[in-house]
Amino acid sequence: MSSHYETIDQYIRAYPGEVQERLDMLRRLVHETVPEVEESISYQMPAFRYKGKILLYFAAYSNHIGVYATPRANEAYADQLATMGFKTSKGTIQLPFNKPIPVELLCDIARFKASSIEEDKKAGGKL
């Protein structure tokens, strides 16, 4: 794998076909859910910014894709993530390759994070 990525396309194409399909699906999901996002690479991971703030990151690993939507989003959806059997930590959701991607739940998380960014911008605070 390359150790330096400049675009999300470069990042995705560095992985095997089945992983590429999952990464492409996540990318489309983010764009369809929050069309105003801007793509970037941050911390050598695909990152999506909304109104200047990070909406989420994702990264591929040997057995899963990590989705990083911040602790606030994970806390808001902790029950659903647990019920669906996804491993989480403070700001990470692990999507194992042997399970379907929880499309609706990830859309909800992306909408929640976008809404949080909007509310924070109105309040003049920082996430």
Q: Quick check: pTM over 0.75? A: yes
Q: What residues contact 5, with CB distance under 8 A and at least 6 apart?
A: 11, 14, 41, 44
Q: What is the pLDDT of residues 13-68, one digit of tens each?
A: 999 999 999 999 999 999 999 999 999 999 999 999 999 999 999 999 999 999 99
Residues 69-88: what's their mean pLDDT?
92
CB atoms within 10 A of CB 122: 8
Residues 98-123: what's their mean pLDDT?
93
Percent of the chain having pLDDT more than 70?
Answer: 95
For residue 127, pLDDT over 60 is answered with no
Lookup: tokens for 89: 């930590």
Residues 66-84: what's their mean pLDDT?
92
CB of 27 within 8 A of CB of 12?
yes
All domains in the chain, ordered by first residue: 8-115 (3.90.1150.200)
> pLDDT confidence of 70, banded at 50, 70, 90?
confident
Residue 113, exposed/middle/buried by CB under 10 A (0-12, 13-18, 19+)?
buried
CB of 70 within 8 A of CB of 113?
yes
Cα 102 from Cα 68, distance rounded (Å): 15
CA distances from 18 to 64, 96, 121, 126 (A): 12, 12, 38, 37
- The pLDDT assigned to 1 comes to 52
